[in-house]
Structure 1
């Protein structure tokens, strides 16, 4: 979620410790953050001082995305604050 706007849905498909694997289905708010996740997905290779990682993740932190469990039994997680989320096309990986 981005505020009250659904960015997309994650359907858990498995586990590759320490990440959970999921299928990503875009929602109405996807286009507003798509380029940020594409930049994150393209991040590869050495980053000795962490500056490239910060340049890619900081914009995602700034849009204040939240993972909201559909069961309502667990509290929402703030993306890139309480959990990590990678979306690459229809595939997603997350950990908290």
Structure 2
């Protein structure tokens, strides 16, 4: 299974270790890195987003600050190119669990 690094520039925010699939998402364990605490509240806000959002405004309000950070997900083994979070892929982190769709 694939291992990924979540980065902001060259700052490691965490690592994802894929363990399964729940189409269309890849399931991964998340291990925080040195830069995680800075972005943790933003991912917690996304994880807490529940219920209907007919016009998408609540989702945009939560995702926009994350999008503005320019986060990337990079496979540890190489091969694939980096993915820009919320541009090339969707990433949801809730505690030690992550869901990645690309």
TM exceeding 0.5: yes
Aligned pair count? 96
State whether structure 2 residue 83 is matched by structure 1 residue 95.
Answer: no
Output the TM-score relative to the length of structure 2: 0.93
SS at match of 1:47: coil
Q: Which of 52, 59, 63 is residue 53 of structure 1 equivalent to?
A: 59
Deviations 1:2-31 (CA, angstroms, capped at 9, x unpaired): 101000000001000000000000000101
Query: Structure 1: where are the runs of 5+ without partners?
Result: none
Match of 2:12 in 1: 6
Output the TM-score relative to the length of structure 1: 0.99
Q: Shift of the alpha carbon at 1:69? A: 0.6
Measured on the aligned residues, the alpha-carbon RMSD in Å equals 0.4
Match of 1:67 in 2: 73
Structure with more strand by fraction? 2
Q: Which of 23, 32, 52 is residue 38 of structure 2 equivalent to?
A: 32
State whether structure 2 residue 29 is matched by structure 1 residue 23.
Answer: yes
Q: Extract structure 1 runs of 4+ deviating beyond 3 A.
A: none
How far apart, CA to CA, are the structure 2 residues paired with 1:48 and 1:95? 22
How far apart, CA to CA, are the structure 1 residues paired with 2:12 and 2:78? 16
